[in-house]
């Protein structure tokens, strides 16, 4: 895809998809957005949040970053993009669900096993990847650190970090918010969810979502 293709794509979008759903788009402008879920996903170009769950405009509030990491709550004077999205989704939009969605072939999880020491051009990435270190340590012990184990264990640590946000914790404990750990497989398009009772990832079926 070149930039010209993107321009053509927007023309096509305006003429077809936008036209088909014009009333819905205009209603969302008039009434504002009321998404039910915050989706925390990876920036990976192969993982398209709306596409993999067939979501429509207004359905998902999305934050994507390298590795679908959730930094722990840290109320200082720095810039916290992901934390700000969580805060807004929970306290302003009152989302009922937060989904942390990892995926197979995640470059961020692979990079946990690479040495970025001599790469000053990746200074922010190196720091950011610290959020996956605990997952790497657990995965190394579990099975020598395979990609899938690292990716899946990381999701659980990110859910743990999510609970360090006081408002998230409060709403989860009062049953006003549910948090979900999902794993998307690039090769099949399938999503698995983490089942707390079984302590493992299971295929995501309709009946499981209501739990």
> Are the C-beta atoms of residues 168 and 99 closer than 8 Å to each other?
no
Residue 51 Cβ vs Zn ion, minimum distance, rounded to whole Å = 16
| Residue 28, both tokens | 């969302």
Work out the end-to-end distance of the chain between its first and last CA atoms, rounded to an integer number of angstroms.
Answer: 41
Here's the x/- map for Zn ion, 42-61, by CB under 5 A: it reads as x-x-----------------
| Residue 20, both tokens | 């088909």
Residues of span 26-45 touching Zn ion by CB under 5 A: 42, 44
Binding-residue total with Zn ion (CB under 5 A): 4
Residue 185 Cβ vs Zn ion, minimum distance, rounded to whole Å = 12
Residue 7 Cβ vs Zn ion, minimum distance, rounded to whole Å = 28
C-alpha span between 101 and 201 (Å, rounded): 12
Taking CB under 5 A as the rule, does residue 70 contact Zn ion?
no
* Cβ-based nearer residue to Zn ion, 16 or 48: 48
For residue 65, give the H/E element and its range: strand 60-65
* Cβ-based nearer residue to Zn ion, 35 or 41: 41
* Cβ-based nearer residue to Zn ion, 46 or 119: 46
Could you tell me the CA-to-CA distances from 191 to 16, 24, 206 in Å, in that order?
29, 28, 11
Residue 46 Cβ vs Zn ion, minimum distance, rounded to whole Å = 9
Taking CB under 5 A as the rule, does residue 135 contact Zn ion?
no
CA 77, 81, 84, 90 dihedral sign is negative
Taking CB under 5 A as the rule, does residue 192 contact Zn ion?
no
Residue 59 Cβ vs Zn ion, minimum distance, rounded to whole Å = 22
What is the signed CA dihedral for 118, 120, 124, 130, rounded to 10 degrees?
20
Taking CB under 5 A as the rule, does residue 101 contact Zn ion?
no
- The residues of the shown chain that bind Zn ion, judged by CB under 5 A, are 42, 44, 106, 108
């Amino acid at each position: 895809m070149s930039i010209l293709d993107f321009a053509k794509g927007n023309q096509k979008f305006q003429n077809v998809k936008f036209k088909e759903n014009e009333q819905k788009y205009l209603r969302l402008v008039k009434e504002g957005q009321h998404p039910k879920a915050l989706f925390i996903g990876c920036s990976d170009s192969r993982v398209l949040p709306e596409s993999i769950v067939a979501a429509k405009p207004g359905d998902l509030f999305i934050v994507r970053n390298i590795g679908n990491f959730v930094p722990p709550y840290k109320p200082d004077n720095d810039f916290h993009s992901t934390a700000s999205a969580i805060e807004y989704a929970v306290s302003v939009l009152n989302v009922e669900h937060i989904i942390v969605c990892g995926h197979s072939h995640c470059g961020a999880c692979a990079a946990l096993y690479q040495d970025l020491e001599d790469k000053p051009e990746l200074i922010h990435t190196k720091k950011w990847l610290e959020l996956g270190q605990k997952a790497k340590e657990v995965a190394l012990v579990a099975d020598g650190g395979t990609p899938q184990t690292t990716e899946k264990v990381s999701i659980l640590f990110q859910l743990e970090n999510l609970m360090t946000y006081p408002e998230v914790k409060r709403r989860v404990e009062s049953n006003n918010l549910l948090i979900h750990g999902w794993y998307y497989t690039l090769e099949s398009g399938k999503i698995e969810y983490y089942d707390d009772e079984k302590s493992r990832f299971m295929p995501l079926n309709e009946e499981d979502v209501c739990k």
